Amino acid sequence: MAEYETVIGLEVHVELATKTKIFCGCSTKFGARPNENTCPVCMGMPGTLPVLNKKVVEYAIAVGLALNCDISRYSKFDRKNYFYPDNPQNYQISQLYMPICTNGFVNVTAGEGSKKIRIHEIHMEEDAGKLIHDDEEDVSLIDYNRAGVPLIEIVSEPDMSNAEEVIAYLKKLKTVIGYLGASDCKLQEGSMRADVNLSVRPVGKKELGTRTEMKNLSSFRAISRAIENEKKRQIKLIENGERVIQQTRHWDDKKGESYSMRSKEDAMDYRYFPEPDLMPLIISEKWIDEIKANEPEMAEQKIERYILQFNIPRYDAEQITSEKKFTEIFEETVDLGANPKKVSNWIMGETMRILKEEKDEPENLNISPKHLAKLIEIVDNNTINSSVAKDVFLQVYKNDVDPEVFVRENSLAQVSDAGELEGIILRILSENPKSVGDYMAGKKKAIGFLVGQTMKATKGTADPAMVNKLLTKLLNGYGN
Amino acid sequence: MKNLTALELSRKIKEKEISIKEVLDYTFKSMEDNKDLNSFVLEMRDEAYRQAEDVQKKIDANEELSSLAGVPIAIKDNICIEGMRTTCCSKMLENFIPTYSATVIERLRAAGLIIVGKTNMDEFAMGSTGETGYFGPCVNPINKGYVTGGSSGGSAAAIASGQVKLALGSDTGGSIRLPGAYCNVVGIKPTYGTVSRNGLIAYASSFDQIGPMAENVADAAALLEIISGHDAFDSTSLNKESYDFSGFLNDFAGENTINGNALNINALNENALNENALNENALNGNALNINISNKIATNEIKVDNISNINNLKGLKIGIPVDYLGDGLDDEIRESIYKTKEILEKAGAIVSEFEMGMFKYSVPAYYIIACAEASSNLERYDGVKYGLRAKDYSELHSMYKKSRSQGFGAEVKKRIMLGSFLLSSGYYDAYYIKALKTRELIKQCFENALNTYDCILLPVSPSTAPRLGESLKNPLKMYLSDVYNVSANLCGLPAIVFPAGESREGLPIGLQFIGRRFGEQEILYAAATCEAAGRGPESKAACEAHERGVV
């Protein structure tokens, strides 16, 4: 069997975080009642006209600048015509001929080092509504709340060759766009949607193979699996002497396989033409400069600042800035007076560990800086010991509890009253004559068991150093 | 009442010589008497009387109102009025009730005009005769065997028969001017972007423009002034400080000068676009800087007195002779030359010249208009509003059946043509070529309008055809737009005015086309021709009045 390499390009749709829709004043808020956020314009009523939301253009330019794109000084909207009920006008206002941004790139770190992924273009367009099929009533219902929500589509060049690079690229987009505040980029909620264009070719061959486009990828894991699956499917076809057909495929994550939605032969003719209801967009240098000037602090800048200002290791700074949410928790907690390195430790240690364990996304984090600062404070002043601190943190992570209240209500405060501890230890010693005997006989290791018993008896709240000290003292005096 | 202009009527209402209710009683009686003309597809009696009460109260309280306050007006049925059935004279929208009103409707109401009904038209404004609508053909009041012209046929007929003195029409490729010419009515197709399209049900977005129709130039100008102005709901609406179209006309007998009332050109080319002031103007390739104000100022045209035959002194008018070749009725050509004499007597400098690109205007227009229409009419699918066929099996059968049953033949033809023209493989060959042609035609007009203040043209190659005659020969119908589509292709203002009648007694209308925002010059030229005795007092119109139609 020949060696194959995979060639992947991505089309990423990102829902912009504007307050209102792209062509009307309706709210973009998620979770409203069906068709609550609609008006004659986004319902496609006869006689209505689109009016472009300036913020959409600003976000698109900001993302373009952050992704090293050329910003078109003259840009236009086009109509993409196709009949489907989720699309109230039966055409989508998009950009085909003169997109707002072209010719960019990002560097991503995947595997052994850095790779440059080129960006072909970024264009602006409107989202469609949602169809809900009611099998019981045998009807389809339409919710136009999402119709007209602004999107940008970021089209990469086919510069990726495996799932790892694809995910690194998507994470990079997510970070950059998140920092800009242009979108929250949630794959699960659909505010970021990635379509994977994939082809394979024998290693060494220059021309590209026939590609397929994979849709419905709603997690990094699904993307990974779909890429693996599609790569194998295409190689198998070629090995069997069959042809890869250019088609759009739908990924079924439950079954772990994809099926064809439509092939090129019955591909739609979208009859694109310039949108006559909107004027061409002429973008001034001044406007671009303003957007540049308003660009928020990005990851690279934060890393340098954290090292300088908070004196934390570069590694820590890099880890924290990998997600905007981490930086928010970090900065706000430090602002409350917590020690930066200790905050960093909580983020890099427990936070990332639990996130991984729970397969959760950082943007869902619900840890309030106030509570994290408090946790650090009560560890510092020995109210709780470090192992109890981890249990308390889990509660802060899960329910954002107030650590002080939680510790009090669950009697988790460290027992560091020597008299009280001595009483407990004496009881333990009398209950464990064998261990005491072993210790006296010279097996010093036996003290470990006795420490454990003491911690158990205090439900872990004892100060371990003090327990050790007291035990040694008492044992040494025991025989006397 | 029948001999009053709309401006005079409003004055009498304000002076309390007549109440709005009395005017409405007269109007609805006249609408009742003229049912056979099929001018109206919806009477808004209750609404009108209710509105009349409000306006009358304001008048009684001596509130300041517009020059046309209290005057009844008819609205073409492709302009949305909240809560009032708006059909575009299509079965597709037979029961459609808009949830919002067009910007022009809001403006009319704010100005105190009384909306009395919706007028008949060609289906979705697609037609040049007034015969393609679902509710049957519009009938020409001057001779009932003839068409009104289209697509604003009902609006023209309602005025020509005296049912109303004012109406709104819309003009995509001559839809105000053709019925104006066939019915002896004045109509204005404003500069693209002057009147908001918000609420005008689109046919071809880059051409559509709402415009006033009236018995005379002064009334039309006053109405244009009311409906003009920037609208944040229409990105193609232009942002101009003032739209003073009638000031100088009101003072025909006075001493006002044109330059005294000249448009404030400084604010002119600031394209408005949305509130965010995002886009700059695209029409005419961003070259809006036609500095007409200077020109007017240096020409020193004085409107001392309408009876002063020198009142067009210095105005340069061009007649494109290549537009007057084969296919044009001799009688209409003669009328052009008679008008030329009138203009020259009034002091204008009239010259003949070659415009160029004449034969390309109709093909370019129909390609672009059908392409845009095919997309604009996609929203009528039976899903959200309008007709949904009953006997469908699944989604695509619902689409097909609803659209097959909802649209008439002319509309289907243009949708199919437009869809074909935009299809991959044909887009460059037809659509792009048509856009290029449009640019060339624009250049021809721009060049001509660098030399001339306005251009005199026929409106139609012949007078009104008989009812039923044209639909058999669609190509001839499309060619009847040959003089009209250029103004739409170029976004230029045009005015149709009565210019006599044929030996058969059918009206002849001519048009002036002006520079972008050159409404003043064309209004002035048309008013001069009207005053020279070719206005509504023409024989046919007089007869219509005598017959007691009014």
pLDDT at residue B542, rounded to an integer = 44
Taking the C-alpha atoms of residue A329 and residue A379, their distance in angstroms, rounded to an integer, is 19
Residues 410-439 of B with CB under 8 A from A: 419, 422-424, 427, 431
Minimal Cβ distance to A50: which of B201, B204, B235: B235
Residue B398: closest CA among chain A residues belongs to which residue? A85
| Residue scoring higher pLDDT (B540 or A68) | A68
Beta carbons of A47 and B206 less than 8 Å apart: no
Question: pLDDT tens across A211-230, in order?
Answer: 999 999 999 999 999 999 99
Please check whether residue A217 is in contact with residue A251, taking contact to mean a CB–CB distance below 8 angstroms: yes
> Does the CB of B232 have a partner CB in chain A at under 8 Å?
yes
Question: pLDDT tens across B496-548, in order?
Answer: 999 999 999 999 999 999 999 999 999 999 999 998 864 444 444 444 444 44
pLDDT at residue B269, rounded to an integer = 27
Taking the C-alpha atoms of residue B67 and residue B70, their distance in angstroms, rounded to an integer, is 9
Please tell me the distance in Å from A151's CA to the nearest CA on chain B: 18
Within 10 angstroms of residue A400's Cβ, the number of other Cβ atoms is 14
Whether the complex's predicted ipTM surpasses the cut of 0.90? no
Look at residue B411 and tell me if it is in a domain: no
pLDDT at residue A265, rounded to an integer = 60
Q: Record the tokens describing residue B117, joined without a space.
A: 């009904």
Question: pLDDT tens across A317-353, in order?
Answer: 999 998 889 999 999 999 999 999 999 999 999 999 9
B549: phi > 0 → left, psi -120 to 50 → alpha, else beta; which? alpha
pLDDT at residue A443, rounded to an integer = 83
> Does the CB of A276 have a partner CB in chain B at under 8 Å?
yes
Look at residue B374 and tell me if it is in a domain: no
Question: pLDDT tens across A161-194, in order?
Answer: 999 999 999 999 999 999 999 998 988 888 999 9
- Give which of A78, A89, A73 is closest to A41, Cα–Cα: A89
CATH number at residue B89: 3.90.1300.10
The torsion angles phi and psi of A197, rounded to 5 degrees, stand at -95, 120
Can you give B32-94 as a three-state secondary structure string? Answer: HHCHHHCCEEEECHHHHHHHHHHHHHHHHCCCCCCCCCCCEEEEECCECECCECCCCCCHHHC
pLDDT at residue B308, rounded to an integer = 40
**SS3 label, residue A76:** coil
Look at residue B166 and tell me if it is in a domain: yes
Beta carbons of B383 and A273 less than 8 Å apart: no
Q: Report the mean per-residue pLDDT for chain A.
A: 91
> Does the CB of A91 have a partner CB in chain B at under 8 Å?
yes
Residue A285 has pLDDT above 70, yes or no: yes
- Give which of A344, A361, A308 is closest to A175, Cα–Cα: A361
Please check whether residue B12 is in contact with residue B6, taking contact to mean a CB–CB distance below 8 angstroms: no
Residue A89: closest CA among chain B residues belongs to which residue? B379
pLDDT band at A423 (very low <50, low <70, confident <90, very high): confident
Look at residue B412 and tell me if it is in a domain: no
Residue A382 has pLDDT above 90, yes or no: no
For chain A, the domains span 4-287, 297-409, 418-478
Q: Record the tokens describing residue A65, joined without a space.
A: 């600048």
pLDDT at residue A470, rounded to an integer = 84
pLDDT at residue B304, rounded to an integer = 31
**SS3 label, residue A338:** coil
How many distinct structural domains can be found in chain B?
1
Residue A406 has pLDDT above 60, yes or no: yes
> Does the CB of B444 have a partner CB in chain A at under 8 Å?
no
Look at residue B55 and tell me if it is in a domain: yes
Q: DSSP letters of B184-253?
A: T-EEEEPPTTSB--TTBPPSSTTT--EEEEESSHHHHHHHHHHHBS--TT-TT-B--S---SSHHHHTTT
- Give which of B193, B222, B225, B223 is closest to B208, Cα–Cα: B193
Q: CB-hemisphere CA count at 13 Å for B512?
A: 33
Please check whether residue B410 is in contact with residue B88, taking contact to mean a CB–CB distance below 8 angstroms: no
Beta carbons of B234 and A49 less than 8 Å apart: yes
Beta carbons of A47 and B395 less than 8 Å apart: no
Q: Please name the amino acid found at residue B407.
A: F
Question: pLDDT tens across A231-276, in order?
Answer: 999 999 999 999 999 999 999 999 999 999 876 666 689 999 999 9
Look at residue B316 and tell me if it is in a domain: yes
The C-alpha angle with vertex A442 and arms to A441 and A445, in degrees rounded to 5, equals 115
**Domain boundaries, position B534:** 6-362+436-546
- Give which of B73, B77, B39, B43 is closest to B158, Cα–Cα: B39
DSSP tag of B267? G
Q: CB-hemisphere CA count at 13 Å for A420?
A: 9
**SS3 label, residue B106:** helix
* Angle between helix A299-310 and helix A324-335 axes, rounded to 10 deg: 30
Please check whether residue A9 is in contact with residue A35, taking contact to mean a CB–CB distance below 8 angstroms: no
Q: Give catalytic status of residue B335 as yes or no.
A: no
> Does the CB of A282 have a partner CB in chain B at under 8 Å?
yes
**SS3 label, residue A340:** helix
Residue A152 has pLDDT above 80, yes or no: yes
Beta carbons of B381 and A90 less than 8 Å apart: yes
pLDDT band at A468 (very low <50, low <70, confident <90, very high): confident
Residue A57 has pLDDT above 90, yes or no: yes
Please check whether residue A362 is in contact with residue A323, taking contact to mean a CB–CB distance below 8 angstroms: yes
Please tell me the distance in Å from A76's CA to the nearest CA on chain B: 10
Q: DSSP letters of B344-409?
A: HHTT-EEEEE----GGGHHHHHHHHHHHHHHHHGGG-SSSSSS---SS--SHHHHHHHHHHHHS-H
Taking the C-alpha atoms of residue B398 and residue B393, their distance in angstroms, rounded to an integer, is 7
Look at residue B371 and tell me if it is in a domain: no
Look at residue B247 and tell me if it is in a domain: yes
List chain B residues with pLDDT less than 70: 241-242, 246-310, 533-550
Q: Give catalytic status of residue B165 as yes or no.
A: no
pLDDT band at A478 (very low <50, low <70, confident <90, very high): low
Minimal Cβ distance to B271: which of A44, A272, A279: A279
Tell me the CA end-to-end span of chain B in Å, nearest whole number: 9
pLDDT at residue B249, rounded to an integer = 57
Taking the C-alpha atoms of residue A452 and residue B386, their distance in angstroms, rounded to an integer, is 79
This prediction's pTM:
0.85
Counted residue by residue, chain B has a size of 550
The torsion angles phi and psi of A90, rounded to 5 degrees, stand at 65, 15
Please tell me the distance in Å from A111's CA to the nearest CA on chain B: 43
Q: Give catalytic status of residue B196 as yes or no.
A: no
Q: Which residues are CB-neighbours of A308 under 8 A, at least 6 positions away?
A: none
| CATH of A418-478 among 3.90.850.10, 3.40.50.2300, 3.90.25.10, 1.10.10.410 | 1.10.10.410
> Does the CB of A45 have a partner CB in chain B at under 8 Å?
yes
